Amino acid sequence: MVLVGCSWTLCGYVMGKAPKKNINVSSLLLLGALIAFLFSLSCGILTVSKLPSARGVLSCFAVLTLCGLANYFQLTLMSKAMQRGPNGIVWSITQAGFVWPFFMGIVFFGVHLSWAMMLGFASVIVSLILFGLTKNETGKGKWKLLVFSAFLVTGISQSLSNLPSYFSEMNQVSSAFRTAFWSLGLMIGAVVGNVKNFGNFWGELKNSAKSFEVWKYACILQLFELICSLLLLYRGMDSLSRAGAGAIAYPLMVCSCLICFEVIALLILREKRTLLQIIALILCMLGVVALCN
């Protein structure tokens, strides 16, 4: 989970860099998802040894396709909110969507909530609030409804992603097929999200498909995402679920992403941090440790 969270920093880098290169984000996501779908589906077919039940496959397909579709709208809503509002606060509120899968595991699947986990969870929430409030950015438009929608859709997407790990029939489906289902949902989301101006989107998509720069970023984006999805993400969530700790999967990934980004910003980019930001980083680290107890 920690490694997956750290890999998300690359996704953030690519998503931030693409618009500056005049790359259509919807086209980039669709083409990247197409690469992931074809590769993971091929891996699933070539490595399958025992077929899970048809009910398990269909259930997993429905859940993770919806997850991919929701994930597309999560990214779109967050991007629009960041264009209009303070990026730090928008990012923090959106990432706080992990409260949904956290409480889903506790309320519906009997995940034990210890005092250490409660303190860790509170520590992470406070750190996210502090990170958001310490960004020196001002809003430029109506962004609150957008960021609240992004928060809700993030929770839906992450809960759906975590759901198969709690059911024996669904968690027998391999990581390769789960990745393929999620990628298909993301492609569907890109099409559905652009249905009103599909003619323009289709033109953008055709132009993007001819661009080496677009394929380069799509491959960079999918290289680490595929490695993490096929080897770490779903296996990690399954392992945590079997250990009775499935609720902490997304808090761990979000915190790891945040800490990794801050370490890069401090050590490599040589960015300066205020005392409040340093306190937020320490609280986030302590929260991760407490959640693992």
Task: Encode pLDDT of 8-29 as tens digits.
Answer: 887 777 776 777 788 888 888 8
pLDDT beneath 70, residues of the chain = 16, 87-88, 134-141, 269
Rounded to whole angstroms, the Cα distance separating 64 from 178 reads 7
Q: Please name the residue ranges forming H helices in the chain.
A: 2-20, 25-47, 54-84, 87-95, 99-109, 115-133, 144-162, 168-171, 175-193, 198-209, 212-228, 234-242, 249-267, 275-291
Burial of 142 (0-12, 13-18, 19+ CB in 10 A): exposed
Q: Which residues contact 218 (CB under 8 A, 6 or more apart)?
A: 28, 31, 32, 35
Q: What is the pLDDT of residues 199-242, one digit of tens each?
A: 888 998 999 899 998 898 888 888 888 989 999 999 999 999 99
Q: Identify the pLDDT of residue 68.
A: 95
Q: Identify the pLDDT of residue 184.
A: 97
Rounded to whole angstroms, the Cα distance separating 236 from 145 reads 33
Q: Identify the pLDDT of residue 134.
A: 64
Q: Identify the pLDDT of residue 64.
A: 97
Q: Identify the pLDDT of residue 135.
A: 59
Per-residue H/E/C for 42-88? HHHHHHCCCCCCHHHHHHHHHHHHHHHHHHHHHHHHHHHHHHHCCHH
Q: Which residues contact 58 (CB under 8 A, 6 or more apart)?
A: none
Cβ contact 268:176 at 8 Å: no
